[in-house]
Amino acid sequence: MATPSDDAFRREVRAFIKSDLPADLRDRVLLGKSLERQDYVRWQKILHRRGWIAGHWPKQYGGCDWTPLQRWIFEEETTQAGAPWVIPFGINYVGPVIYTFGNEEQKRQHLPGILTSDVFWCQGYSEPGAGSDLANLQTRARRDGDHYVVNGGKIWTSYSHMADWVFALVRTAEGGKAQEGISFLLIDLRTPGITIRPIISIDMCHHLNQVFFDDVRVPVANRVGEENRGWTYAKFLLSNERVLIAEVGKLKRLYAQLRRMAAETYEGGAPLLRDGDFSRKMIQISLGIRVLEAMCMRQLGAGTADAPPGPEASVLKIRGSELMQSITHLMVEVQGRRGLPYQIEALAPNWNEEEIGAAGATGMMREFLFGRAATIYGGSNEIQRNIIAKAALGL
C-alpha cells in the first residue's frame, strides 16, 4: 500500500532522526528514565525547526498536510528510534479542536504556543464519578457577565503539574440529555482558585494529578464553539487517535528490548530465548504485533483513519494495550531471575551510578507497573468491548 513517495518519506524521517535526535535524550528514553518538561520541549523544538512538530495539521495552520500513512510512518520511526514522546495534549488534542472549531482570535492566541511547545496543555475531562460515564461530569460553569465561574474538580489529569493551560469539559446547563449541557473551555492554570494536587501512581512516579476549581473566573471568550455543544468537540478530539492508539512503534521497540534481555539471560546454561515455553510466548507476542500492524494498515488503506472511531478503533485499543501488558509482563519474568530490582532513584535524569540488574531494568519495571493503566485510559477495555458488542451484535 505504501507508495514510492511514502518509502522516500520513511528514509527522510530516518535520516533526520539519525542526524537530529540528541543521543542523551535517546538513551534516556531507551532506558526508560524519567523526562522533565525541558526534555520534551527540547525534542519538540527540534521537530518544530524541521517543520514536523504537527505534520498532520493543515499547512495553513503550520502543519504539512501529512496523509494518515505519513503520520503513521513518522510515529513508527521516531518511537522505535527512542525519540521522546510528543506530549499529545496540545499538538494532537486541543490544537485540532481550536483550528477546527475555534474563532480567529483563539487560533491567533493558542496555535503558535502549541507549535513552539512554549505552552503546555493538559486534558480536563475525567472526574470522580465521570470517567467511563463522562457525560455525568459535575464541574459547573455559571455565567456571570462576560465570565464563567467554574467550580468542581478534575482527576487523573496527566502532566497538569507541567502544564500552563487545561482544556476542560464543564457543565453549563442542567436538565435534558446529559451530553447537551456541556461546554468546552480553555483555562489558564495560573487563574486564581485553581489547585493542583499530585497523585503518585503505582510506579511511584508523578504523572497524574487532581485539579480543583474554586470560583475560577474564566472569560467567556475562552469557550470553544457554542455553549452546551462541547460534547461534539470532545468527541472530535478523541477521534484523532484512531489508529495511533495501538502504539505499534512502541510495541516493536519494547519487544526488541525484551528479545535482547532474554538472549542475555541464561537459565540452565542456555539463553532464556531458547527455552521452549519462553519462546512460545515470544512468538505469540510477535505474531500479535504483526496482526495488529496489519489491522492498522487495513484501516489506513480503507481511508477511514480520519473518521470518527468505530468498533475497529476499539479492537486496536484492546489488542495494543493487551500486547503492551504481555510484553512488560514477560520482561518482569526475565528480570525475576535477577531478583526483580525496582531501584526508583535510578530513574532520575541525573543518576549516574551503576544500576542493579540489566541495563534499563528499572525503566522496564516502571513500564510494567504503569502499563497496568493502559487498559484503563483512553476508554477502558471493558467499554471498548461494549462498543464492539453493540456493533457486532446490535445490542
Ligand X SMILES: Cc1cc2nc3c(=O)[nH]c(=O)nc-3n(C[C@H](O)[C@H](O)[C@H](O)COP(=O)(O)OP(=O)(O)OC[C@H]3O[C@@H](n4cnc5c(N)ncnc54)[C@H](O)[C@@H]3O)c2cc1C
| Interface with ligand X (CB under 6 A) | 123-126, 131-132, 156-158, 208, 373, 376-377, 379-380, 382-383, 386
Based on CB atoms, which residue is closest to ligand X, 310 or 341? 310
Shortest Å distance, C-beta 383 to ligand X: 6
Shortest Å distance, C-beta 278 to ligand X: 29
Shortest Å distance, C-beta 207 to ligand X: 6
Distance in angstroms (rounded) separating the CA atoms of residues 181 and 39: 39
Based on CB atoms, which residue is closest to ligand X, 49 or 197? 197
Based on CB atoms, which residue is closest to ligand X, 69 or 155? 155
Catalytic residue among 75, 241, 247, 312: 241
Based on CB atoms, which residue is closest to ligand X, 81 or 365? 365
366 contact partners, CB below 8 Å, separation of at least 6: 32, 203, 205, 342, 347
Catalytic residue at 241?
yes
Shortest Å distance, C-beta 157 to ligand X: 5
Residue nearest to ligand X (CB): 131
Shortest Å distance, C-beta 378 to ligand X: 7
Based on CB atoms, which residue is closest to ligand X, 330 or 374? 374
Shortest Å distance, C-beta 76 to ligand X: 23
| Structure-derived torsion over alpha carbons of residues 251, 117, 61, 19, reported in degrees to the nearest 10 | -60
Based on CB atoms, which residue is closest to ligand X, 125 or 278? 125
Residues recognised as catalytic: 241
